Structure formats: structure tokens, C-alpha cells
Amino acid sequence: MTKMNNIPDWEEKYRDEEAETMPWYYPDLDPDFKEALDRLEMISGDALDIGTGPGTQAIELAKRGFKVTGTDISFAAIEKAKDITINSDLNLSFMQDDILDSRLDRQFDIALDRGCSHVFPPEKIPNYVSALNGLIKPGGYLLLKCYSHLESEIIGPYCYRPEDIEYCYSSVFTVLSIKDTIYYGPLEHKPKALISVLKKRNET
């Protein structure tokens, strides 16, 4: 994993900036998530969007028929996401929560991580995997999108190789697929990314 060296202050960022200007902002369902859901033939279920930020992925998932909980460490992000969905009739809720010290007390059929855990220092990943073990039902899925080791232009998140994903997650998950992709968003240079589809083992 390559080192990250500029983690934003999330609260300050969401308080002071418009979500639409952020490099990860993508108003539609990320095509990699769409493809993964189609391949898994999943059209409904209880879903958790971890580090939901502007909430776009949570909203799009709810529009597809999922019951969605979006969580983020930033209170400001959660307030803004709540504001834009306040009058919707989607099966969707937002909650401030630190996934590394989560207050969530139930399990989900599927969790999405679009660029959340790739900001965690490597020593925190075992805590993250342990949190996921508690939050995802046996046989449930994790869709994980992170920066790839092939990305060399943007200094930011930790960059993963496929073998890093195997190493970090295989104690709890079976790795169904890991593919090269890009990080869709407003940046002209689309960062190189990995999309991983993981299935929680029944016996963990």
C-alpha cells in the first residue's frame, strides 16, 4: 500500500465547501456498483453506505429499491444529505457515525465503501474489517472501491494492489472479484481504482 499524506478535516471540508465541488462527487450510481449489483442479481435488501459523504450512492441505491442507511463521520455531511432528501419518500436514512467505533446495532445484506476505507491508515484496517464482520450478515456483500497502486498522479488516499485486498479482507470475506477501474467524478484526470466484490463467509 502506498502512503497517503493529506487527509482532509472532514468536518471542516463538508461545512465549508459545496459537495458538488469535491473530487469524489458523482451524482449517479457509480457504474462499478451498478455492474456488481447486476451481476449479483441484487435488486433489494438492507444496505449500508459507509462514508456516504454527499449521499449520492445511498440515494441512488434507495431509488433502486434498497432500504439504505448512509453513515459518515462528518456531522456536516450528514446534515446536508438529510436536507436534500428531507421530502423524498425513499427508504433512506442518514446518521453520523464513525465506522471505526460504530454505534450501528444491526446487520446489513450489503455494504458499500466508495472511497471511505482507503483514507484509513493501514493499522486501522483490522479494526475496519472487524467492524464489517459485525455489520454484514453472513453471506452478505461488501462492494469496495479504492485507489489502485497504478495511480501515480494524485497524492491522497492509500493505494491498494489486488493482493493487499486479499490480505486485508480474507479473514472475514471470500473475494469474488477485483477489477481495475477508474474513480468517476469531476476531476479531468480520472484516478485509477480497484473495485472489489467480497462475500462475507458464513462461519466467521
Strand-pair category, 192-200 with 173-182? antiparallel
Size, binding site for ligand SAM by CB under 6 A? 19
User: CB of 127: closest distance to ligand SAM in angstroms?
Assistant: 10
56 binds ligand SAM (CB under 6 A): yes
85 binds ligand SAM (CB under 6 A): no
What sections of the chain are H helices per DSSP? Answer: 10-16, 31-40, 56-63, 75-85, 125-135, 162-169
In the stretch 122-161, what mask flags binding to ligand SAM with x, by CB under 6 A? ----------------------------------------
Count other C-beta atoms under 10 Å from residue 87's C-beta: 6
74 binds ligand SAM (CB under 6 A): yes
194 binds ligand SAM (CB under 6 A): no
54 binds ligand SAM (CB under 6 A): yes
57 binds ligand SAM (CB under 6 A): yes
Stretch that binds ligand SAM, among 49-57, 83-91, 147-155, 169-177 (CB under 6 A): 49-57
Separation of alpha carbons 133 and 110, rounded Å = 12
Among residues 37, 47, 62, 73, the one that binds ligand SAM under rule CB under 6 A: 73
Cα dihedral 102, 14, 18, 30 sign: negative
Q: Which residues share a beta bridge with 195?
A: 145, 179
Among residues 36, 61, 81, 114, the one that binds ligand SAM under rule CB under 6 A: 114
Buried b (16+ CB within 10 A) or exposed e, 135-158: bbeeebbbbbbbbbbebeeeebbb
- For residue 52 the three cell numbers come to 456516504
User: CB of 138: closest distance to ligand SAM in angstroms?
Assistant: 23
Sheet bearing 173-182, strands edge to edge: 92-96, 66-72, 45-50, 108-114, 136-147, 192-200, 173-182
196 binds ligand SAM (CB under 6 A): no
Q: State the residues that interact with ligand SAM by CB under 6 A.
A: 10, 24, 51-54, 56-57, 72-74, 77, 98-100, 114-116, 119
